[in-house]
Structure 1
Amino acid sequence: MNQTIVLAGGSGFLGKALATFLQQKGYTVVILTRGLAHMNEGIRYVHWDGATLGDWAKEIEGSKAIVNFTGKSVNCLYTKKNREEIIRSRLDSVQVLTEAIRSCEHPPDVCIQAGSLAIFGDTRQVCTEEAPHGSGFSVEVCEKWEEAFFARELPQTRMVLLRIGFALGKNGGALEPLVKLASYHLGGTVGSGDQYISWLHIDDLNHMFLTAIQNEQLSGIFNATGPQPVTNKEFMYTLRKVMNKGWAPKTPTPLVWIGAYLIMRTDPSLALSGRNCIPQKFLDNGFTFLHSNLETALHDLLRS
């Protein structure tokens, strides 16, 4: 049986982490990238443009699974141009991958889409997969994204969408900028501090992807996050504690807005909004977390 897994747009932080993990599990990994085709550490990188069919589609024929990470980063200013590109990059990749799968004589067993918990908006209410959606641009993006993914039936391919939370890993990803702030004694509460962070360790996220690949009973939408979300205030306090940093000044909401626009060149909502999400369907299916406590998870990542 073909044990090849194709990671579309898999050259980012989450994709590379999953690629290494899957290699360790005995899978062959192919990454579809907008960069040049090459081979690196046993992983074959194949060029694609994320929007049109090409020779890359041959990689999908007879593969075990596809995981789609493609999409312009939301860590940017939400100008008209960036908003259009954020939406277009997601919808184009979903549509062209669907076309590639439908053209296969031997389609992959499963297609997994990396989505986002941002669909729930900014809320303190506990959100399972069935919780109501929020409002705003990020929610609109997620709704169009999910609608496109499930728009066309793939009779021989299971379809799984993971709404991914705040994934914590080593040497990059969502955690890196917060570690840098804390290292300069600036890792205080952001804004009100009441906004929730639905975090999970990268090891657990990788195991969620593996579960979705291997468990033939899983299909549909899953919250891919840890079982114990915390507030921003608690998260930053715990991060400082693990890093042996003392008190740090708060960053009031007006300063967050100024810093986001003038220094970070990103939308302030990324820091000031949050959601309190639970991976109910994974828990119902017996998923066991390796890291459910924030302090021990941060110790594993930062002090090991």
Structure 2
Amino acid sequence: MSDLFGKRIVIAGGSGFLGLAMAESFISAGASVSLLSRSVPKGDGVWSHHVWDARTIGPWTDVLDNADAVVNLVGRTVNCIKTPDHQDEILRSRVESTQVLGAAMRNVTSPPPVWVQMSTAHLYGDPPSLVCSESSAEGIGFAPTIARAWEAAFAENLLPKQRGVVMRTSFVIGRDRGAGGGALATLGMLARVGLGGRVGSGTQGMSWIHEADLIRLFAKAITDNTMSGAYIASSPNPVSQVEFMRTLRQAIKMPIGLPAYEWMVRIGARLILRTDPELALYGRYVVSERLASAGFEFQYPKLEPALCDLYE
């Protein structure tokens, strides 16, 4: 990531575990980073922070002027019960933040020449065994609809002279930095109490990417002028749910992993974890065709070394 040295980068939605990890890495590479978020991030980072509501133009707009790149990670978590209100906010948080970033960049003298946009591999739905790539058919249902709206908002708001890169991201496994460790923290907790076994059929796909590789991929998108359009941001080695949890148990040295039948998940996810049971019962296998063409090499292409690194 040495090509980031001296660059000014704005990260929208930078107060979560991924945004903070990205900011730390970019700063270590010699970049200056400005975070846009509703609340001040925890920690003692050397980034600058600017408050925004991700919906309206405000004083934060000035930070975009003369920046070298903007990264948009904004999106309400999908780790929740999908009530109508939650579904509405999941959609609006993604679309409205993208729209207001576009509006803000049209209002500054020198907007960033590169815009790297988070999206989701949920775009491809939940095919039971098919391995999807960038050229695969899109899925149907709530999650693919959100993904299409998100990417459509990006396409509509990308400036004519901007280079735009979309990252259709899979399950990001990362460390807890005081902002929550993402879904891996929940899976790790379940595994530690002996509940990290097969869920449902156990054959549902778990496509994943180590946070270090995702950050390196965003850095490459910022600095590599040949990258443009949509890429699947996922390890080249997706696994089944039962294999993922077996490997996770090995990483945390838990020999027992009790299985959970579908009916148990549908009850327990809602009543105990307060989340959508379909996040555990369904999944997808995705592998990028375009990343290989772009010359990107994964530091953690296999799951076992990736989890061992995170749980050392």
Q: So what's the TM-score if we normalise by structure 1?
A: 0.96
Q: Does structure 2 conserve the Cα–Cα contact (< 8 Å) formed by 1:167 and 1:200?
A: yes
Deviates more, 1:190-199 or 1:235-244: 235-244
Unaligned runs of 5+ in 1: none
Is residue 24 of structure 1 aligned with residue 5 of structure 2? no
Residue in 1 aligned with 2:144? 139
1:52 alignment partner AA: T
Aligned equivalents of 1:239, 1:40: Cα separation in 2: 30
User: How far apart are the structure 2 equivalents of 1:29 and 1:209?
Assistant: 14
- Which residues in structure 2 correspond to 1:264-283 (within 5 Å)? 264-283=273-292
* Partner SS, residue 264 of structure 1: coil
Does 2:237 match 1:228? yes
Q: How many positions carry a matched residue from both structures?
A: 303
**For the residues of structure 2 that align with 1:58 and 1:84, how far apart are their CA atoms?**
29
Q: 1:97 aligns with which of 84, 96, 101?
A: 101
Say if 2:9 is the partner of 1:5: yes
Distance in 2, Cα, partners of 1:61 & 1:120: 35
3-state SS in 1 of match to 2:172 = strand
Percent identity for Structure 1 against Structure 2: 40
> How do 1:1-304 residues align onto structure 2 when only pairs under 5 Å count?
3-35=7-39, 40-123=44-127, 124-171=129-176, 172-303=181-312
- Asked whether the 8 Å contact 1:160–1:212 carries over to 2, the reply is yes
- Give the secondary-structure state (helix, strand or coil) at the position aligned to 2:9: strand
Cα distance in 2 for partners of 1:102, 1:2 equals 24
- SS of residue in 2 equivalent to 1:216: coil
Please give the alpha-carbon distance, in whole angstroms, between the structure 1 residues aligned to 2:264 and 2:75.
29
- What one-letter code is carried by the residue in structure 2 that aligns with 1:241? Q
Deviates more, 1:288-297 or 1:226-235: 288-297
Secondary structure in 2 aligned to 1:191?
coil
Per-residue Cα deviation, 1:69-113 (whole angstroms, up to 9, x for no partner): 111111111111111111111111111101111222211021111
Deviation at 1:174, TM superposition (A): 2.3
Deviations 1:102-139 (A, max 9, x none): 22221102111111111111112111111111111111
Cα RMSD, aligned residues only: 1.6
For normalisation by structure 2, the TM-score amounts to 0.94
Deviations 1:274-295 (A, max 9, x none): 1100021111111111011111
* Structure 1 residue runs of 4 or more that deviate by more than 3 Å after TM superposition: 36-40
Read off the aligned partner of 2:75 and give its amino acid letter: G
Cα gap change, 1:241/1:2 in structure 2, threshold over 3 Å: closer, same or farther?
Answer: closer
Deviates more, 1:100-109 or 1:39-48: 39-48
Shift of 1:242: 2.1
